[in-house]
Structure 1
Amino acid sequence: MGTKTININNSIVHYTVEGVGRPVLLLHGFGEDSTVWENQVEYLRHNYQVIVPDIPGSGQSELISDVSMEGIAEVINRVVEAEELESIVLIGHSMGGYATLAFAEQYPHLLDGFGLFHSTAAADTEEKKETRRKGIAFIEKHGANEFLKTTIPNLFSAHTKETHPDLIERFTASLPVFSKPALKSYYEAMIKRPERIDLFSKTDLPVLFIIGEQDTVISFEDILKQASMPRVSYIHVLHQSGHMGMLEESAKANAAIEEFLMELK
């Protein structure tokens, strides 16, 4: 248990393993590291084996040449191999959700189910791509962490900003140090990622959707439409959350994940 590493093309990727039971892998998003899941790890580790990697270039993991969604999916596959697991439940937040979909497409036989936590199977719109390109230019000019400081507050709901501004301040203060190449590579990968909405109608796997009603990053209406497509869907709406429900409504997020895990065969 504790911190482990794998070597991918001479780069070290860190992950942690806590608890015993059904393996559950939580995959963080852009501008975060594995510590964003601390509340969920503490809650789930008593009944599940919780595996939480730092995506290459985030946290303690070194950047690798391929941080496309498919490249990150291959990293997860390497973690599964290192832990000698027959199958996992994979839940990804935001960009981690994009990589989760790539994994579900490439390695469905390794999944008992998967989940999107404030994420979508839709590709970037042209407007979104242009926003990311402007972000890349800002990162290049002002630095990675200055970019995150300006964007992080927008991820939280108006309710959280009003009632728990200290939560946003603590999260912003605890951000890991990112390199310019890492954040730029993530944005470029998200711009290039394909749409994977068809995966929902093709998969026999149960799919968890955790949706923030006040999320300004992922369209609430669009993800509800996607959530109706899988044969088996579990849909949870966090009414007072924006894009950071694991922090904004951690107890409800924990309960939603646990309910999904308990329903799986």
Structure 2
Amino acid sequence: MWKEVNDQNAIGAYQVNGEGAPLLLIHGFPENGAIWEHQQNKLQERYRVITPDLPGSGNSPLTYPLSIESMADFVHAIVLAEGIDKVVIAGHSMGGYVALAFAEKYPHLLQGLGLVHSTAAADTEEKKEARRKSIKLMEQYGAEAFIRQAVPGMFSPATKSSQPALVDALVQMGMQCRVEALLAYYEAMLRRPDRKAVLEKAGVPVLFIIGKDDTAVPIDSVLPQVTLPRRSSIHIFEDTGHMGMWETAEASTLALQQFMDFCQL
């Protein structure tokens, strides 16, 4: 069921499906809430699954100023609108950055935190330079050229070979996002701080879903972070790049289900 939140700090749309303990799944870049369709369809049998469209994506308008923190406030507005006291939040890539910002700002509302192909580290200087080049590419040639160039690298070689339709589906999803929003997301990611301290201070379980073939968030950069929380659940998937929700859909869904079950104990 589609719902809307509209207050002075947050305007946008989100879906709610199922009943039970709340699980809020935050999409990444260049996606919308539909990226979680497989997980939503399975997990709504056990939980209340909430999938927002972040500002600028899907059915949510782009709002300014946009930052990782403002998107965390948007998620917070949804949690309040749903009357939720405790929520498990998992975010993919950029969505993980938003989930970490939420955990930093609203720890009292958190029951569990999931990083799905994401990291608590800030961008390296090399990564920042790559983002700046992408910004120039989008400014000069538009969104489609960037999306068609960037999206294939989000999948593992095995997926690109065996399931090219998945790559095309993400290209089509990415092209639904206006170039203004894509630029705003990249600027927000560039500005985000290091949040490894959030993991160290986390009073809740933390889930890590990692792809062995992820070049966007390489496994070697994430593994040192899994020891920071007091309680970590770690899943490393073979033949999986940056898009485990699609590439390894069943295993990713099971990991989320097991994590949700653990967080209810």
For 2:9 and 2:71, locate their aligned partners in 1 and report how far apart those are by CA, in whole Å.
16
Quick one: which amino acid aligns to residue 228 of structure 2?
Answer: M
Alignment match, 2:22: 23
Give yes or no for the alignment of 1:126 onto 2:159: no
For 1:260 and 1:10, locate their aligned partners in 2 and report how far apart those are by CA, in whole Å.
31
Alignment match, 1:40: 39
For 2:180 and 2:5, locate their aligned partners in 1 and report how far apart those are by CA, in whole Å.
21
**8 A Cα contact 2:18 2:44, kept in partner:** yes
* Structure 1 residue ranges, 4+ long, deviating more than 6 angstroms after superposition: none
Q: Name the SS for the 2:184 alignment partner.
A: helix
CA deviation after TM superposition for structure 1 residue 8, in Å:
4.2
- 1:115-134: CA deviation from partner (whole Å, max 9, x where unpaired): 00000000001111111011
**8 A Cα contact 1:9 1:64, kept in partner:** no
Give yes or no for the alignment of 1:99 onto 2:98: yes
TM-score in terms of structure 1 length: 0.96
Alignment match, 2:87: 88
Alignment match, 1:257: 256
Give yes or no for the alignment of 1:228 onto 2:235: no
Alignment match, 2:161: 162
- Shift of the 220–203 alpha-carbon distance from structure 1 to 2, 3 Å rule, reads same
CA deviation after TM superposition for structure 1 residue 10, in Å:
8.8
CA deviation after TM superposition for structure 1 residue 201, in Å:
1.4
- Shift of the 142–9 alpha-carbon distance from structure 1 to 2, 3 Å rule, reads farther
Give yes or no for the alignment of 1:246 onto 2:245: yes
Q: Name the SS for the 2:111 alignment partner.
A: strand
Alignment match, 1:199: 198
For 1:11 and 1:235, locate their aligned partners in 2 and report how far apart those are by CA, in whole Å.
33
CA deviation after TM superposition for structure 1 residue 203, in Å:
1.4
- Shift of the 12–200 alpha-carbon distance from structure 1 to 2, 3 Å rule, reads closer
Alignment match, 2:152: 153
Alignment match, 1:142: 141
Q: Name the SS for the 1:17 alignment partner.
A: strand
Alignment match, 2:116: 117
Mean CA deviation greater in 159-168 or 247-256: 159-168
For 1:227 and 1:10, locate their aligned partners in 2 and report how far apart those are by CA, in whole Å.
33
For 1:152 and 1:92, locate their aligned partners in 2 and report how far apart those are by CA, in whole Å.
18
For 1:52 and 1:16, locate their aligned partners in 2 and report how far apart those are by CA, in whole Å.
5
RMSD: 1.3
Quick one: which amino acid aligns to residue 152 of structure 1?
Answer: V
Give yes or no for the alignment of 1:108 onto 2:107: yes
Quick one: which amino acid aligns to residue 74 of structure 1?
Answer: D
Q: How many residues align?
A: 264
For 1:4 and 1:189, locate their aligned partners in 2 and report how far apart those are by CA, in whole Å.
26
CA deviation after TM superposition for structure 1 residue 169, in Å:
2.0
For 2:116 and 2:93, locate their aligned partners in 1 and report how far apart those are by CA, in whole Å.
6
Q: Quick one: percent identity of the two aligned structures?
A: 45
- Shift of the 10–117 alpha-carbon distance from structure 1 to 2, 3 Å rule, reads closer
For 1:99 and 1:10, locate their aligned partners in 2 and report how far apart those are by CA, in whole Å.
16
CA deviation after TM superposition for structure 1 residue 12, in Å:
3.8
CA deviation after TM superposition for structure 1 residue 143, in Å:
1.1
Mean CA deviation greater in 146-155 or 204-213: 146-155
TM-score in terms of structure 2 length: 0.96
CA deviation after TM superposition for structure 1 residue 175, in Å:
3.7
Quick one: which amino acid aligns to residue 19 of structure 1?
Answer: G
Q: Name the SS for the 1:182 alignment partner.
A: helix
